[in-house]
Amino acid sequence: MTALLPRLSVRNLHTQLLHSEGSLPLVRGVSFELFDGQTLALVGESGSGKSLTALSLMRLLSRNARWTCSGQALLTDAQGQVHDLLQVSDKHMRHLRGNQIAMIFQEPMTCLNPVLSVGEQIAESVRLHKGVNAAAARAQALRALEQVEIPAARQRLAEYPHQLSGGMRQRIMIAIAMVCEPRVLIADEPTTALDVTIQAQILALMSRLQKETGMSMLFITHNLGVVAHHAERVAVMYAGQVVEHAQVHELFAKPAHPYTQGLLACLPGRARQLARQTGQPVALQDIPGQAPAMDHLGSGCSFVGRCSVSLPACQHQAPPWVGNPSSARLCHLEGQP
């Protein structure tokens, strides 16, 4: 029986920023797999490398800086062909981007073109990837707006981004990403700038679209509450590395890496749970200190300066992977839960 290929397999991804004195490692050996219809959450503090990982995969790193990317990012298309996103030509990547793999960005107002109507921006992707005429592309753009539950969709086609609310603009971004039915969708904190009610609507919309289309999703967020309800697997990032990966229910029930334990301890729900168990008020916890500067990481564990259970080896030796293929952590503490 043939083994099922992952839709996206990222292997040992490294992204470095080149400068006059050398290079600065910002993504360090990230690996994960994303299978059919699966949602993998990539979580961590701001600056941990989540968005840079996504931009590296999409080949959308800033052009006003010099970068190098190494490793593999293998995308399997609907015909079973495998494309290494880091190695294909720019022309080939433009064919894949938006068609086989698409991305929703954090802030739609900075990504949408202010001088083009939203209908034109959606239709542009259809014309480019599907090779249809303007009328057919506009019809598909209208269906995309209806699919993302935009009210008065036909009227909105002619409107511009500044005429729409934040929630509407985010729906437009989803429509642009989804109109060509990509196999893999990268959602980079798509609800960060929205209020709680609109966040819930956008997340419910994305879940419905995923079920209807069968797409796989890489969901980037720092909101662990969202992860608990919308993902099957989690990869936790710290200082440019994945330090733990597990099934969602395993990670919340028994976090293994000290950094993951610290993140979960910061949740108000955890404090309430401990208060009920002990009968005493429990203060919210935090992780002391700050993440290390990427140009002063040292040779040991990058979390050692903030870890309360570190060992002498953590100072000078890079930690190994401990666990099994379904649940593992990058840590010297083999005997710890």
At residue 57, the 3 state secondary structure works out as: helix
Higher-confidence residue of 46 and 270: namely 46
Q: Is the pLDDT of residue 280 over 80?
A: no
pLDDT band at 254 (very low <50, low <70, confident <90, very high): very high
Note the pLDDT of residue 3: 54
Query: Any idea where the domains of the chain sit in the sequence?
Result: 1-100+183-253, 109-181
pLDDT band at 12 (very low <50, low <70, confident <90, very high): very high
- Residue spans of alpha helices (H) in the chain: 50-58, 90-96, 108-111, 118-130, 134-147, 153-156, 166-178, 196-213, 224-230, 248-253, 258-265, 268-278, 313-316
- For the stretch 177-209, pLDDT in tens is 999 999 999 999 988 778 888 888 889 999 999
Please tell us whether the domain made up of 1-100+183-253 is placed in CATH 3.40.50.300: yes
Note the pLDDT of residue 22: 87
Q: List C-alpha distances in Å: 281 to 23, 268, 270, 275, 284.
A: 48, 12, 12, 5, 10
> Which of 170-184, 204-218, 270-284 is least confident?
270-284
User: CA-to-CA distance for 203 and 142, rounded, in angstroms?
Assistant: 21
